[in-house]
Structure 1
């Protein structure tokens, strides 16, 4: 169900239910935003309850589906591993997550409640191949990829990756888990001459061949090491895309996370790093947004157009109220491409809305509550006329 439908039921102020992990800060931030708007407290429906078949909602509720991450028991049920730092199991996680989301949607529909994220959107957002293909089909600029869209190649291991790199003349690529998030299982791979391959990644391998996510980015300098990692990741499904050279800020690679709420780009943060992965939990740091705007203008680009690219990306997922868009500025700051679109890309504590966005003074969660309230008012105005 679309956000506009799900957020406008009844004449009273919306009542929120949040499918999430009750102890998680994401849930706490959203609960704070609901209270700040003067609304009834949000009702939390634990992921463990949903996975146990206990999804239930009231007719007047607007249901927010939040991340199931950062809970060891939920991860065990979805991924099938006891250690939440393990990389393996993302295909199983995806299948379990899709089933759970569809159950939430059915339970909400049966009760006459609405959801703020459509199951079909979430299915695409959590498959990088499907997401990339949907963006490309809509004319959103994305890095070239041989693994999405018509004629997409299947990747069964390192030999396929090497063949695709050669065949598509891509000496530098990102190899990503199809269903990964937060840079889990991502390798920045480049060839450095005949028979020379190196990769930068947060994946580490123990003596038994198991893969773990690390908070330390590391480098592998032999084809044997890189190939072994890719072969171990491949059973969960892989996506490959050209590694675009990024712009830099103060000598560090830079990109942006732009949050789009209700079709409008409301928040943006610059992420900088000395490695190809700019994720803040991997040692990335927030950069200066004013400097980015100035650099874009000096290069003859348009900051408004950069935000419009993000809004066009979000429009590819019309049943979802809020997404986080990873915007890749090419070297020189004049052009932009979309690297990924994240269903749960709104965790940016302390960040307030962009000037002119309608979300000034609000964090990402407050902006989402405000968007639901706005749609409720618009619905009332239409039905009253």
Structure 2
């Protein structure tokens, strides 16, 4: 998983923008994701990066109105005014913010790429490649489905193992044994050889028209059919 300065029992809570600004000044943390502790579908997530001269930029689904109100938007917004970024962070921080290092990801056709892998009853059943021009690849925020066969070929060409990538997702799902279906966000490092787990989503199965992985337990079945088939039968 990406390193996080806010995780663990000894980590202090992030109280607002000054705390996040301090984190951004630490080695290896000039680019981070700040995620609400309770949320879904990238609502309130900020991809924050700093540059020379103290400049800062945030990409997020949060829309900040002139009155200071915040709205979740289906259009990504990019902020370069530090006061605006601070206002968003200060508004979200009281509900809890998780901060993690922004890992450089692999690309496909010049676009940032990652994968959503659905795990049902402990087995990886479905996978979709998500690509975007920016850091947030969520399909409902303008991301596009990529080429899974090309990903599998890239992993093999890099000396990696597609099966091992799926096993990473299955091990992540096993941390939540009471949840029969999860959607794992699998982050491929540049070069397609190594992978990290970005998130494990309780509601990660909304992938219309996506058939199960060939040779897997849900081959030819959508995500919902796979879950029904995995239910215990008398």
Are 1:376 and 2:233 counterparts?
A: yes
**Which residue is equivalent to 1:365?**
224
Distance 2:5 2:66 in 1: 33
Contact 1:256/1:270 (CA < 8 Å) preserved in 2?
yes
Are 1:209 and 2:49 counterparts?
A: no
Distance 1:341 1:187 in 2: 18
Deviation at 1:168, TM superposition (A): 5.0
Please show how residues 1-385 of structure 1 align to structure 2 within 5 Å. Answer: 142-167=1-26, 169-372=28-231, 375-376=232-233
Contact 2:214/2:220 (CA < 8 Å) preserved in 1?
no
Distance 1:246 1:269 in 2: 16
Contact 1:203/1:213 (CA < 8 Å) preserved in 2?
yes
**SS, match of residue 84 in structure 2:** helix
Higher strand share: 2
Contact 2:64/2:84 (CA < 8 Å) preserved in 1?
no
Contact 2:61/2:73 (CA < 8 Å) preserved in 1?
yes
What TM-score results when the alignment is normalised by the length of structure 1? 0.59
Give ranges in structure 1 of 5+ residues lacking alignment.
Answer: 1-141, 378-385
Distance 2:139 2:117 in 1: 14
Contact 1:195/1:223 (CA < 8 Å) preserved in 2?
no
Deviation at 1:180, TM superposition (A): 1.5
Deviations 1:114-153 (A, max 9, x none): xxxxxxxxxxxxxxxxxxxxxxxxxxxx000011123222
Distance 1:168 1:316 in 2: 30
Deviation at 1:214, TM superposition (A): 1.2
CA RMSD in angstroms, aligned pairs only = 1.1
Higher helix share: 1
Deviations 1:180-220 (A, max 9, x none): 11010011000111321111111111122111111111211
**SS, match of residue 268 in structure 1:** strand
Distance 1:357 1:152 in 2: 40
Distance 1:295 1:156 in 2: 42
Distance 1:304 1:250 in 2: 23
Give ranges in structure 2 of 5+ residues lacking alignment.
Answer: none
**SS, match of residue 91 in structure 2:** helix
Distance 1:153 1:336 in 2: 28
Deviations 1:35-93 (A, max 9, x none): xxxxxxxxxxxxxxxxxxxxxxxxxxxxxxxxxxxxxxxxxxxxxxxxxxxxxxxxxxx
Aligned length: 234
Distance 2:55 2:219 in 1: 50
Contact 2:14/2:97 (CA < 8 Å) preserved in 1?
yes
Contact 1:217/1:275 (CA < 8 Å) preserved in 2?
no
